[in-house]
Each structure stands twice: as C-alpha cells, then as structure tokens.
Amino acid sequence: MRAQPQPVIPVTVLETKLYVPRPRPGQVSRPRLRERLDRATRATLVLVSAPAGFGKTTLLTEWLAASSADGGRRTAAWLSLDAGDNDPAHFWTYVIAGLRSLVPDMGASALELLQSPQALPVEAVLTTLINDLGTVDGDVVLVLDDYHVIESREVHDAMGFLLDHLPPQLHLVISSRADPPLPLARLRAGGELVEVRAADLRFTAEEAAAYLNDAMGLQLTAPDVAALEGRTEGWIAALQLAALSMQGRADAGDFIAGFAGDDRYVVDYLVEEVVQRQPQPVQDFLLRTSVLTRMSGPLCDAVAGSTGGKAMLQALERGNLFLVPLDDQRRWYRYHHLFADVLQARLMDEHPELLPDLHAAASRWYADNGEPAEAIRHAMAGGDVQQAADLVERTLAAVRRDRQDALLRSWLEALPEDVIRVRPVLCIAAAGSLLSTAEVEGVERRLRDAERWRDLVFDDAGRQGERPPELVVVNEQEFAWLPTWVSIYRAGLALALGDGPATVLHARRALEVLDEDDVVGLGAATALIGLASWGTGDLATTYAAYVSCLTTFERAGHVADVMGIAITVGDLCVAFGRLDEAMGTYESALALAAAQGGPAPRGSADMYVGISGVHFERGDLGAAHAALLRCRELGEHLGLPQNRYRSRVAMARLLEAEGDLDGALELLDEAERLYVGDFSPRVRPVPARKARVWVKQGRLDDVRSWARREGLAPDDELSYLREFEHVTLARALLVEDRLDEAAGLLDRLQEAAQSGGRTGAVIEVLVLRALVAQRQGDPRTALAAVSRALELAEPEGHVQVFVDEGEPMASLLRAAAASGHGPAYLHRLLAGQGATAPSSRRPRSGDPVEPLSERERDVLRLLATDLSGPEIARRLVVSLNTVRTHTKNIYAKLGVNSRRAAVRRAEELDL
Amino acid sequence: MSEMSSGADHGPGRYEIRLTGHLDPRWAGWFDGMAVTNDADGTTVIRGDVVDQSALHGLLHKVRDIGLPLVSVVRLDADQPPPPSPRKARP
C-alpha cells in the first residue's frame, strides 16, 4: 500500500557475507572428499550436512581452491547465510550479489524486480535469474554456507523452484547442520544429489595423525593419536582444540591420558584448557566479545570497554584461537561457532550481569555505524525492548525503502504487545505491514490502537494537543502523520473488504488532515478514492483523483508510482476519447524515467502497450506494432503484473484488425490464462473480446452461449461496468439481423455513455447505430449517426473504429462526403479502408558503433547523471571496479575518452 | 476427535532432553535457565519448562549447535511431579 518515500536504493550489500574463505596454512588435504565434490558438476545439488565443527566450510574452501588451481573453468560464488536471510528479498538479493562477483551483469532484471514497489511472486524473479544463468559460459558454483539458519518456508519453496529449473551451468552447494527441507529423497533417487555427511567428514586415523603431527608438529606416538582420535571420534573441532591445548606443552602424553579418561563434553574440557592458558586480559576479551556474531577492532573496543581491539584480534588469529577472518583486509572476524557457544555459556554462567551492558554497547555501536538491523538484534538480545522499539521507529523509512518487509514484520513480532500498543508509530507500521499481506483481522486490532492515540492527541484538523504520559513517540515525523495514515489504512482495509463508499469516506478524511510534505500519503489517499469511484462508474471523480495523484508523484520523482498510475490515467483518457492526452500521459511518464537515469523502471513496458493502443485508434497499425515490439524488447520483467495479459490483448486487437482472427483468438486465450486481477474494475473482460472475434467469424452459437454465460440481454439495465459487454452484444445482434433490438440497445448505450462523458464509447456506438440503420433501410438515420460520429472523432483523430467496419462503413462514409462532411479527414478514413497502414518508425540505419551491452547501456544512462562512480556502483549493485570496466568499454566503443564526451556521443547516436 | 485441536499439546510443557556426554552444568544459562545435570551413565539431562513448541525447537537447535549427540526428548506430564526415572531410550 505505502509506496517508497524515495527512488529505490538497493539494500547495502555486506561484503563479508560474500567473502570466499581462503584455505588456512596447515590444513589437512582431503583428496577422498574433494573427489566426491568434483562430481558436483554432474549433480543438481551438493549437500554437506553435519553438525558444527565437522570441517564443512574448510572442506569446501579446500575444494574450491584446488579446482581453481587445476586451472578449471569453474568459478564459485559464496554466501555465508545468517538469520536476516530469512527475508526472501534479502536472501535473493545476496544470492544475486554473490553471482555478480563472477558474472557482473547477472540478474539485473531480477534485482530490479526485487526492488520494485509492487511485490511479485518470487518465481518471476527466479525465472529471469535462471534465464540469465542459462547464458553463462562455463560452470558456476554457488555455495550457500550455514543454510540451517534458514527457517522461512518462502525461501525453502523458492529454493525448491530453483532446483527444479536449475540451468546446467549452475551447481548448488549447500552446507548445513541439519538437512534442509528440500526434495532430497527425490534428488537422491534420481542420482542428482551428492552428499557429504558427518561420517565422511570425520578425520580418519591417518588424517588425525597427519593433522596432529605434520600440520601442528606435535610429534605424538601412534597410541596417543589413536587415543585422541577415539576420544574425539574424529570430530575435527575437538581435535583442533586438543592440538591447541598441547602446543608448547612438554607433557602431551599426560594431557592425552587425562583427556581420554574424562567423559566431559570434549569442547568444554578443551576450551577450558585453551582459555585458561591465556593471560587474564585475553580471557576477559574472549568472554566479552563472545556476544558478537562479527567482530572488528572498533566494535570490540566498544563492547569490551578497552582499546587495542584490532591488535587483540590479530594476536588471536596468529595464536590460532578459532578466529575466522571474514575479509582479506583483516577488518572483520568471527569466532568459530562452537568456540563462541562455549565462551557464551561461560559468560552467562560467570557474569550474567554483564550481558545487558555488552549487548547495549554493541547495539549503540551498530546504530552509530549505520547498521540498524544489527543494532536492533543486539538490543533485543540484551532484553532492552524499549531501545529496540526506539530503533525500529527510527528505521522505518529505511526499511520501507529497502523493501525489507519480512524483517520489519519479524521485529514487530518480537516486540512485546504492551511496548507496541503505547507506540502509535509502531501500531500503524504493523497495520500497514499486515495489510500488505491481507491479514485483515490483525489490521483491525492495530488500527484501533492507533485510532485511540489519534483521538487522544489530535483534534479534527489534525493538530496535536497534549500527550498522555504513557504515550511513547520517538519518530516525530511519522507521528505527525498518524491521522492521515490511520485513515489511509482504514480506506485500504475497506477496499480490501469491497466497501467502496467507506473507502472514499476514509480516504477523503486522510486528505483533510494531510501534511503537504507527505507525498506518499497524498498519492495513496487519492489513488484509493480513484479506485473506489471507478468501480461505481464515476469516471470524472476517478480521473480527477488519478491525475492529482499522478502530478503528486511526478513532482516528487517517484517514477515507479508514476508508471502505475499513468496506465489508469491513459485508459481513462481513451474512454473519454482524448487520444492526445493519453499519448502525452504515457510519453511524459517515460520521459520522467529517462530524466532520472538508471535502468528503465518497471512499468515502462506498460507505457508502450498504451502508446500502441493510441496508434491503433488512429489507424496507424505500423506504429502500433512498433510500440508493441518495443514493449517486448523491454521484457516481461519491466511490465507490471497486468501487462502480461494487457500486451497480449493489444496484440490480439492488431491481428484482428489485420484479419488474422485465429491468431487473435489464440492470444486472447493466453491473455485469459495470464489475467491477474487488481483493485481496479474489470471493464473490458477478455471473454467479451473473444466474443467480438467470434462475431466476425460468424460463430454465432459461441457468441450466444457467451451472452448466456455472462447473463447479457438487450433489455438489461445498463451500467458502466458492463458497457463493453453490451456493445459487444449489440454487435452480435447486428450480425444476427435482430436489428430492432440492436437499435434499441444502442440508443440506450449512447445516452448512457454520453451522460458519463465517455466519448470513446459514444463514437463506437454511433458507428454501430449507423450500420444498423443502414441495414434497416433507413439512410437518413444512418447518415445522421455517422455524421455525429465523425464530428466527435475528427478532433482527436479516431480512425480505426470506422476502418474496422469494412465496406458497409466505407459506403456510409462516401455518403457523408457527398453530403459535404469535412473532406480532409474523410479522405484519410477512406484511404485507411483496406489500405496498408503507414509505418511511422523507421529502423535505424546500420549503427555506426559496436552495440553496447544492456549493462553498458545501464552504466551509460547513469553516466549522464551527476552520480559519482561509487554511487553508480551502489545503484547497480556491482563493485566500483565493474563500473570502471564497463565505463572503459563504453569509451572504447564510442571512441571517446571522457564521461562528458561519452554522454554527448550517446546523445548524438540516440543510444 | 483429535487431541491436537485442543491446543494443549502446543502450549507450555515440561521437557527432558538427554544427550550423550557430560555437559558442564554452567550451560544452564545458555539453555535459557533449564537445569543441566549429569547422569552416572555418561549422559546429560536438560530439564525444564518450555512455553510452546517453538521454544522447544529453539532448544533443540541449541543442542544441535554444540554437537552433542541427542539420545531422547521426553515430555514430562505437566500436572504431576516428574517421575523418578522417566522413559529413556537407553538405560
């Protein structure tokens, strides 16, 4: 419901999550497992499933390093998952960002879909991604590490979809502590699954010996090695800890005897050994920083309350203390999970009183350093729900901008009820979040809470009065807009429940109290009024609402919203018979998008379908074709959900006009399958369009059963919503020679359309009325009707509505000409009769330069803006280096050597 | 017909989770304050109340994450004191 306050900026990509871990020195080589992984290229999925500390990540690291050392063409993307990836948009954005580290252009369309304001089925996103992957040369390995953190059904389902449609180039590798809920049994049965499990990963006696004696240089005897291997059961993390405990010890034999004779949890025993040998400051540091999932020097300083965090981390890494680097610059680290768990358990046992302070310090640090999600997580972990709620309030705008709906919902679910209820800003955020998933019941409850606060604080004009002491407001901006948004969501709820009058009532109330800076609120409220009045056939109100909405979003530069609304405004203009205005609406939406730079926004394809429609009405079928071709070139992903059927309907109409009736029907069948409803009324249903084609084919039985099915009869009461169907029925009556019934229906339709200002329909009805009169042998009425139609049609250049009727209409037009009707326009109409349509668009004569790739065009468009290189990189979700490479290629292809020159040259070439 | 629909099985309950190996009782805090006790047979029992099934699964995830093999999960009757020797997978 609520659109974004600003143009879309992609979610900030944390590089540490995409870092491909490097093999560490002294790692035991495991050729037997590497060979098994090499089978990945013939399997659909590689699953490395084993508990923590079994060396899953290490094995994958070794395998990837070995296969790239072999000079293999295989390249790998790595994604370290965390709980935040349960948000599907987040998950797929990172998957694509990971793949982009290998193939820079990968998934551009998918990313755009993920960022677009209209939620889209994830299958659509994946389909474009799968298509992109299908064009890649060579193998691509995608490693999803720590998949067990994923609990979201939606992510699992989408992974299942990806597995079902996996292009041969992509090899999925999942490492997890638990088997993921994917169709493993089926894959296993089909031989499409390569598995590496705990039993495979355990160190064998030989591997244990190689590790302890060769890699760690411990010089243990064979019985000692066997004792350690037996005690740890080949569990690698335990063996590593044991080796650490023995380093620099003279009495390794005693240590092993003591260890082997103890049945304490091996990790407890060993971490104790290792930690206790550290100096006190190191022990303190380890305990305090164990609450962190990632560590940098400054963050550790903030949490441990000391300085020298960076040096400490480096020392720990040198001492092999289970520190895993997360980047090549040695800025971010994490502890090995097992080690962190043991440290945390100790901290909770020995110093539970420190926990709130440690989490609070971490929360503050993240908040100050622009990572609100981590800040909120720590605030919640430390039990400071008020701080967490404060942070959520402050982060709302950014969360909406980045479309992290699932993340927002998870925060709101985690916050206690009594905290949310006294915070109207959160009540309203929760209502909006629920409304977007149509959870009507929850919306009602949240809205009632928000309304209670509104009534206590605001007067009828939306002015604030005194606040009750229990009220909590952190985000004053959002609070000031509370009265507006309560009413907007009320209106949205009413619309979802099908209550048009209540929708309008609430939306008008929202407008009364609207703050002039609340652009999105203005847009949402007017759109709701428009939608509700459209359903009742009040087109004038609908139009007024949508145009003011369009202007608002244009002024604010919200291109995506402009596109969505321009479709409706264009449709309404066509209904009013105002073709120039319709064309202008589509064109200025496209111009606005072009002026903003960046890749073409979603909805661009819809504009070309609209443009095609206007050309069609004007009888320029060539231009209508060209516009549809442009729509297809842009691709389905740049169309809004309705465009899939709308574009097919437009094409069907063209084929119908050109006489390919079977082709038209085929497209209409497809359109019917692809139809998706939205809140707007279905004023031109596809079945009626099919009936029109049947009328032309003389399939009158089919037409009759259509009319029966839809419950249509000539003496029906008329309503705007069924106008298109009734005009279709009149066409059928004409062909069936039921002329009196046709005439009666058309006369009534004319009156209704005229009083509703729907000139487009009036013209068509008059044309049909003239044909009926002609058949009735009433040339006077026929001529009067056609003359009136011509008067209405000439100013805006309607042509096709006459041309479509063939010879009977041509003779009427000749009669009109003879009676002195405007010669120039009539000449055009008569020329259009059976003549081939002119083509307004010439193909560009051989491009003088090597064509730019789609990605290069994207970069070029952004070069024309005043965005800096890093800003361009962020916008396209690629690295700065990638942008530089594209820029270099663009310069080379255009034969220029500066940004200014490239932009100028591109303009000259109309690129 | 079904006990499931009553919701009783989804609500709060007392559980006992048994693991192989001796886990130090200091892990109690990490396991949300459940009691951690070592049995003479070399197993560890984590016992306590959970508010619902999600909490129980969260607890099992924690068990998984420290890598100790799971022996059994038993629901103790909430209305009665825990029996002296609840069902075990292995004596």
Averaged confidence pLDDT in chain A = 86
CB of B68 within 8 Å of a chain A CB? The answer is yes
Q: Which of A544, A539, A546, A591 is nearest to A564 (CA)?
A: A546
CB of B43 within 8 Å of a chain A CB? The answer is no
Q: Is the pLDDT of residue B36 over 80?
A: yes
pLDDT of A835 reads 39
pLDDT of A657 reads 92
Rounded mean pLDDT of A599-623?
Answer: 91
**Beta-carbon neighbour count of residue A198 at 10 Å?**
17
Rounded mean pLDDT of A403-419?
Answer: 86
What is the interface pTM, i.e. ipTM, of the complex? 0.75
Rounded mean pLDDT of A282-309?
Answer: 93
pLDDT of A117 reads 55
**Beta-carbon neighbour count of residue A244 at 10 Å?**
19
Q: Which of A436, A430, A487, A438 is nearest to A458 (CA)?
A: A487
Q: Is the pLDDT of residue A806 over 60?
A: yes
For residue A832, name the pLDDT band (cuts at 50, 70, 90): low
Of residues A519 and A805, more confidently modeled: A805
Q: Is the pLDDT of residue A174 over 90?
A: yes
pLDDT of A402 reads 67
Residues of A with Cβ-Cβ distance to B21 under 8 angstroms: 263-266
Residues of A with Cβ-Cβ distance to B24 under 8 angstroms: 264-265, 268, 345
The domains of chain A are located at 15-201, 206-276, 416-536, 854-908
If you measure CA to CA, which chain B residue comes closest to A269? B24
Rounded mean pLDDT of A103-131?
Answer: 77
- Choosing among B18, B19, B22, B36, which should be mutated to test the A contact, i.e. which has the most A CBs within 10 A? B22
If you measure CA to CA, which chain A residue comes closest to B62? A341
Q: Give residue-wise pLDDT tens across range A35-77.
A: 999 887 788 899 999 988 899 999 999 998 887 766 555 588 9
pLDDT of A294 reads 92
pLDDT of A144 reads 96
Architecture of the domain defined by A854-908: Orthogonal Bundle (1.10)
Helices A385-401 & A355-368, crossing angle to 10 degrees? Answer: 30
Percent of chain A with pLDDT over 90: 44
Provide the token pair at B83.
């029996």
Q: Is the pLDDT of residue A828 over 80?
A: no
Q: Is the pLDDT of residue B47 over 80?
A: yes
Q: Which of A13, A127, A142 is nearest to A75 (CA)?
A: A142
Of residues B51 and A365, more confidently modeled: A365
Q: Give residue-wise pLDDT tens across range A339-378.
A: 888 999 999 999 999 999 999 999 999 999 988 889 999 9
Choices 3.30.1120, 3.30.70, 3.40.50, 3.30.300: CATH for B12-72: 3.30.70
Architecture of the domain defined by A15-201: 3-Layer(aba) Sandwich (3.40)
- H or E element that contains A644: helix A643-657
Alpha helices (H) along A577-603: 579-596
Give the strand pairing for B13-20 and B43-50.
antiparallel
Q: Give residue-wise pLDDT tens across range A527-537.
A: 888 888 887 78
Q: Is the pLDDT of residue A840 over 80?
A: no
For residue A822, name the pLDDT band (cuts at 50, 70, 90): low
Q: Give residue-wise pLDDT tens across range A141-172.
A: 999 999 999 998 989 999 999 999 898 889 99
Provide the token pair at A427.
């009540």
SS3 for A450-466 is HHHHHHHHECCCCCECC
Rounded mean pLDDT of A769-784?
Answer: 94
For residue A118, name the pLDDT band (cuts at 50, 70, 90): low
Q: Is the pLDDT of residue A649 over 90?
A: yes
Q: Is the pLDDT of residue A302 over 60?
A: yes
pLDDT of A406 reads 77
Rounded mean pLDDT of A809-823?
Answer: 81
Q: Is the pLDDT of residue A6 over 70?
A: no
Lowest mean pLDDT among A493-507, A553-567, A846-860: A846-860
CB of B83 within 8 Å of a chain A CB? The answer is no
The domains of chain B are located at 12-72
Percent of chain A with pLDDT over 70: 93
pLDDT of A366 reads 94
Provide the token pair at A581.
């205005």
Cβ distance B21 to A177 less than 8 Å, yes or no, reads no
Cβ distance B26 to A346 less than 8 Å, yes or no, reads yes
pLDDT of B78 reads 53
Residues of A with Cβ-Cβ distance to B29 under 8 angstroms: 345, 348-349, 352
Lowest mean pLDDT among A653-662, A888-897, B2-11: B2-11
Q: Is the pLDDT of residue A488 over 90?
A: yes
pLDDT of A11 reads 45
For residue A843, name the pLDDT band (cuts at 50, 70, 90): very low
CB of B30 within 8 Å of a chain A CB? The answer is yes
CB of A118 within 8 Å of a chain B CB? The answer is no
Rounded mean pLDDT of A704-708?
Answer: 95
pLDDT of A69 reads 66
pLDDT of A852 reads 78
CB of B26 within 8 Å of a chain A CB? The answer is yes
- Choosing among A236, A265, A338, A351, which should be mutated to test the B contact, i.e. which has the most B CBs within 10 A? A265
Distance from the B25 Cα atom to the nearest Cα atom in chain A, whole angstroms = 9
Whether residue B46 contacts residue B54, with contact meaning beta carbons closer than 8 Å, is answered with no
Instruction: Kindly calculate the radius of gyration of chain B based on its CA atoms and give it in whole angstroms.
Output: 13
- H or E element that contains B76: strand B70-76
Of residues A441 and A295, more confidently modeled: A295
Cβ distance A177 to B68 less than 8 Å, yes or no, reads no
Q: Is the pLDDT of residue A408 over 80?
A: yes
b (16+ CB within 10 A) / e for A618-656: bbbbebbbbbbebbeebeebbbbbbbbbbbbbbbbbbbb
CA-CA distances (angstroms) from residue A903 to A371, A732, A898, A910? 36, 56, 9, 10
Q: Is the pLDDT of residue A295 over 80?
A: yes
Q: Residues 247..266 of A with a Cβ closer than 8 Å to B: which?
A: 263-266
Q: Give residue-wise pLDDT tens across range A883-898.
A: 888 888 888 878 777 7
Cβ distance A348 to B29 less than 8 Å, yes or no, reads yes
pLDDT of A886 reads 86
Q: Is the pLDDT of residue A296 over 70?
A: yes
For residue A837, name the pLDDT band (cuts at 50, 70, 90): very low
pLDDT of A119 reads 59
Q: Is the pLDDT of residue A831 over 60?
A: yes
CA-CA distances (angstroms) from residue A115 to A33, A588, A822, A834? 40, 23, 52, 47
Helix (H, G, I), strand (E, B) or coil at A646: helix
Rounded mean pLDDT of A82-88?
Answer: 87
**Where would I find the beta strands (DSSP E) of B27-69?**
35-38, 43-50
pLDDT of A679 reads 66
Q: Which residues sit opposite A172 in a β-bridge? A: A45, A142
CB of B65 within 8 Å of a chain A CB? The answer is yes
Of residues A170 and A680, more confidently modeled: A170
pLDDT of A89 reads 84
Helix (H, G, I), strand (E, B) or coil at A715: coil
Cβ distance A264 to B28 less than 8 Å, yes or no, reads no
Q: Is the pLDDT of residue A3 over 70?
A: no
What residues have CB less than 8 Å from A425, skipping those under 6 apart? A393, A396, A473, A474, A475, A478, A479, A482
pLDDT of A747 reads 96
For residue A638, name the pLDDT band (cuts at 50, 70, 90): confident
Lowest mean pLDDT among A191-200, A396-405, A441-450, A549-558: A396-405
Lowest mean pLDDT among A591-595, A778-782, B81-85: B81-85
Alpha helices (H) along A337-404: 337-350, 355-368, 372-381, 385-401
Q: Is the pLDDT of residue A316 over 70?
A: yes
Q: Is the pLDDT of residue A506 over 60?
A: yes
CA-CA distances (angstroms) from residue A529 to A279, A502, A534? 70, 10, 8
